[in-house]
Amino acid sequence: MSSEPVRPDPTVFARALADDTRQGIMKLCCCEWRSVGELAESLQVTQPTVSHHLAFLRDAGLVQVRPQGRQTFYQLNQDQVAVCCGMLMLRFAPERQAPLNML
C-alpha cells in the first residue's frame, strides 16, 4: 500500500460521485472510521462489493486507510474532496466564487 499522496483529479472525483454505492460509502465514512463489514451492513451490499468500491476511492485518494489488527478502517479524505470540488468549480464555473460558508 503506497503512502504517497494521490494527486487530486476532478474527473476521477466525478466518477466516484456517479455511483450510488460510492456515494453511500463516502457519506458513511465522512466523519468516522468504518470497517468494510460496517459499510456492507449499512449499505445492504456484499463485502466484496464494498471492497471493490473502496479500492476505487482509495486509488483516487478519497478515503484514508487505517489498518488495525485483522481489519482495515476507512475514513473520507475531506481535504481531497474539498480540493476536487474546488478544481471542478475552477474548470466549469471559473467566473463564480465559492460561497463563504465553503471556505
- What's the pLDDT tens digit per position in 74-90? 999 999 999 988 888 88
Using CA atoms, how far residue 67 sits from 23, 29, 34, 91, in Å, is 22, 15, 11, 36
8 has pLDDT over 60: yes
In a domain, 101, yes or no: no
Q: Whole domain around residue 34: which residue ranges?
A: 10-91
In a domain, 44, yes or no: yes
In a domain, 96, yes or no: no
In a domain, 42, yes or no: yes
Q: What are 20-42's pLDDT values in tens digits?
A: 999 999 999 999 999 999 999 99
Residue type, 18: A
In a domain, 2, yes or no: no
Closest CA to 17 of 59, 53, 64: 53
Residue 45 exposure: Cα atoms within 13 Å on the Cβ side: 16
Alpha carbons 74 and 55: distance in angstroms, whole number: 11
Using CA atoms, how far residue 102 sits from 13, 16, 43, 53, 89, in Å, is 18, 21, 28, 27, 12
In a domain, 97, yes or no: no
- The predicted pLDDT at position 69 comes to 94
In a domain, 80, yes or no: yes
Render the burial of 34-43: b for 16+ CB within 10 Å, e for the rest.
Answer: bbbebbbeeb
What pTM was computed for the model?
0.81
| 102 — pLDDT class (breaks 50, 70, 90) | low
Structural domains counted in the chain = 1
